[in-house]
A and B are shown apart, each in its own frame.
Chain A
Amino acid sequence: GAGVSQSPRYKVAKRGQDVALRCDPISGHVSLFWYQQALGQGPEFLTYFQNEAQLDKSGLPSDRFFAERPEGSVSTLKIQRTQQEDSAVYLCASSPRDTQYFGPGTRLTVL
C-alpha cells in the first residue's frame, strides 16, 4: 500500500531563498508530524497537526519556519530566507493513532 510520500527528495537552495517541502500522508491518517534530522543525529520534532489544526509548533526553530495543512491531508513546510544551518533532512510522519509512519524525507542543502 502507499506510504507517506515527500517531495522533492532533494533540494538545493542558495542562502536567502525560500523553499517549500511537501508531505502526502497515508490516506485517512488524522495526525501529521514534521521532524528535522541533522547528519548523524536522531530526528527532532518540529510541529504537529491533527486534521487541519496545528496543535503544537514548539519545535520550529524560528519564525522563518511555517507549516500548514489546510484541508487536513497534504502538508507543506515552508522555510523563508534559508540559512546554512537549515541544511538537514526534513521528515514527515503520519499516524492513525499512536504509531508514526515516516516518509523518506527531503534532504535540504543550503549553499
Chain B
Amino acid sequence: GESVGLHLPTLSVQEGDNSIINCAYSNSASDYFIWYKQESGKGPQFIIDIRSNMDKRQGQRVTVLLNKTVKHLSLQIAATQPGDSAVYFCATDNQGGKLIFGQGTELSVKP
C-alpha cells in the first residue's frame, strides 16, 4: 500500500545550525505534501506545504524541497532554535483529503 517514510528517526543539531529532515513517499500520484511539527502533548502544527507543480517553497526560516523523480521531500530549517525541538512529520494527501503520515523525526536542538 501507499507509504510515507522518513530517513532518520532522530536528529540532533547545535543551536544556530541548519537542520535538514528528509522524507520519501511511494505514491507517484501524490500531488500535495505537508510538513507538520508536533510538540509533546500537542496536536500536529502546520509548518509549510507544497504542490507537485513546484519543486521548492520557502517560508519563514523553513524551506521545503520536492524531488518528484525520486519521490523525495525535505524540510530545511535555518538557524535552528531550541523552540524548534519537536517531532516533524511529512504527510501526503491521498487525493481524497485523507493524509498519509510518515513515522516522524525527532529534532533535538542543543544550546
Q: Evaluate contact between B49 and A98: CB separation under 8 angstroms.
A: yes
Q: Evaluate contact between B96 and A98: CB separation under 8 angstroms.
A: no
Given A91-B43, A102-B44, A103-B43, the answer on whether A42 and B89 have CB atoms closer than 8 Å is yes
Chain A contacts for B98, CB-based, 8 A: 33, 45, 48, 56, 59
Chain B contacts for A35, CB-based, 8 A: 99
Q: Nearest residue in A to B44 (C-beta to C-beta)?
A: A102
Contact of B101 among A31, A44, A103, A104 (CB under 8 A): A44
Contact of A100 among B42, B96, B99, B104 (CB under 8 A): B99
- The answer to whether the Cβ of B100 comes within 8 Å of any Cβ in the partner chain is yes
Q: Which of A27-59 touch B at CB < 8 Å?
A: 31, 33, 35, 40-45, 48, 50, 55-56, 59
The smallest beta-carbon distance between B13 and chain A, in angstroms, is 21
Contact of B42 among A31, A44, A99, A104 (CB under 8 A): A104
Q: How many contacting A-B pairs (Cβ < 8 A)?
A: 59
- The answer to whether the Cβ of B97 comes within 8 Å of any Cβ in the partner chain is yes
Q: Which of B28-61 touch A at CB < 8 Å?
A: 32, 34, 36, 41-46, 49
Q: Which of B3-47 touch A at CB < 8 Å?
A: 4, 32, 34, 36, 41-46
Interface range, B side:
20 to 34
Q: Nearest residue in A to B89 (C-beta to C-beta)?
A: A42
- The answer to whether the Cβ of B93 comes within 8 Å of any Cβ in the partner chain is yes
Q: How long is the Cα–Cα vector from A45 to B103 in the complex, in angstroms?
A: 14
Q: Evaluate contact between A104 and B96: CB separation under 8 angstroms.
A: no
Contact of A4 among B4, B43, B49, B101 (CB under 8 A): B43
Contact of B44 among A40, A45, A48, A91 (CB under 8 A): A91
Q: How long is the Cα–Cα vector from A89 to B102 in the complex, in angstroms?
A: 16
Q: How long is the Cα–Cα vector from A91 to B32 in the complex, in angstroms?
A: 21
Q: How long is the Cα–Cα vector from A95 to B36 in the complex, in angstroms?
A: 15
9 A-B Cβ contacts within 8 A? A31-B97, A40-B104, A42-B4, A42-B89, A45-B99, A91-B44, A95-B97, A99-B49, A103-B43
The 6 A-B pairs with the shortest beta carbon distances in the complex, nearest first, are A42-B101, A102-B43, A45-B98, A102-B44, A104-B43, A105-B43
